[in-house]
Amino acid sequence: TPRLFSGMQPSADSLQVGNYIGALLQWRQMQQTHDAVFCVVDLHAITIPQDPALLRQQTRRTAAQYIAGGIDPEHSVLFVQSQVPAHAELAWVLNTITGFGEASRMTQFKDKSAKQGSDATSVGLFTYPVLMAADILLYDTALVPVGEDQRQHIELTRDLASRFNSRFGDTFVIPKPQIQKATAKIYDLQNPEAKMSKSAASDAGVLWLLDEPSKTAKKIKSAVTDADREIHFDRAAKPGISNLLTIHSVFSGTSIGDLEAQFEGKGYGDLKKEVADVVTEEFAPVRARTLELLDDPTELDRMLTKNAERASGMAEATLARVYDRIGFLPRS
């Protein structure tokens, strides 16, 4: 069975609906047919400043949401990145074959560093995509299910893998991105031209998996739409309505075409009310299960360390192969 690898940053207490639709829903489905490895990428999270106590809490909460969202930690591997040292070790090696210009062209880095200014931007943020390449390549990954915003990072991963292979001999599997066209980008409710993001300047456009249902419903009812009255999908002319239709369609299982027919002659208020219903219905059991899992952090931590051992076994084998190819002495 082909290997699957993916991860999320523990950069907030809750996932937002873009993470849930763009990534977690795919993960849940694909773990049935693939040998799946899922990571909470805390090494990535510290590329911007994090409060230590909050980071620890967010890491547990992110793992709990993976499980509550349907990832089975007995079947798939579900672990925390910093508990498997091979990630940082392979990242170092890959840093040495990454061009400075190549890394400078990463658009996420350019966006984030432009916001922060160059003195506030860490070198860690600059090499963030190289660490991501290490994550993926350590597990002989064939497929990486992600949202659209990660496409360029996976392109870089493929380039680095091929470069290493041609310089040192066949070592890495070349991975492919798995991006679901219709749901690869969920937009901010207040600014439907921009992707929904955990780090959005305003909270009003972000739907959090763990929010109170009443809060979620309120945000959906205040979503930005347009001056027209027609409910139909048109990404360019009606970004707000198109985003709401996408979210409805994913959770209700109704096609966009059927939704357009269903809402013919109805108003934006009717659409928003239904979207609020399907979203809160979807979130309710996941939220309840997450809170239940967080009631017993000791058990959660035990599950994570056990899974880190499983991941280490896989990752160490790849790292040993890499070290040998480069010409490092054997470790033992």
- What residues have CB less than 8 Å from 209, skipping those under 6 apart? 14, 15, 16, 17, 19, 20, 65, 69, 283, 286, 287, 290
- Least distance in Å: CB of 66 to ligand TYM? 11
Q: Report which of 98, 142, 139 is spatially closest to residue 321, judged by C-alpha positions.
A: 139
**Mask: binding to ligand TYM, 95-124, rule CB under 6 A, as x and -?**
------------------------------
Cβ-proximal residue to ligand TYM, closest one: 22
Q: Is 111 helix (H, G, I), strand (E, B) or coil?
A: helix
Out of 3, 4, 8, 79, name the contact with ligand TYM by CB under 6 A: 8
Q: How far is the CB of 328 from ligand TYM (least distance, A)?
A: 24
Selected binder of ligand TYM within 63, 196, 279, 293 (CB under 6 A): 196
User: Which residue, among 40, 42, 33, 29, has the nearest Cα to 71 in the 3D structure?
Assistant: 29
Which range of residues in 65-73, 114-122, 191-199, 220-228 is near ligand TYM by CB under 6 A? 191-199
For 11-56, the DSSP string reads -SSS-BHHHIIIIIHHHHHHTTTSEEEEEE-HHHHTTS---HHHHH
Q: Of 135, 211, 274, 282, which one interacts with ligand TYM (CB under 6 A)?
A: 135
According to CB under 6 A, which residues from 32 to 61 bind ligand TYM? 41, 44
Q: Does 146 bind ligand TYM (CB under 6 A)?
A: yes
Q: Does 80 bind ligand TYM (CB under 6 A)?
A: no
Q: Provide the minimum distance between the beta carbon of 59 and ligand TYM in the complex, in angstroms, as a whole number.
A: 12
Catalytic residues: 112, 195, 198
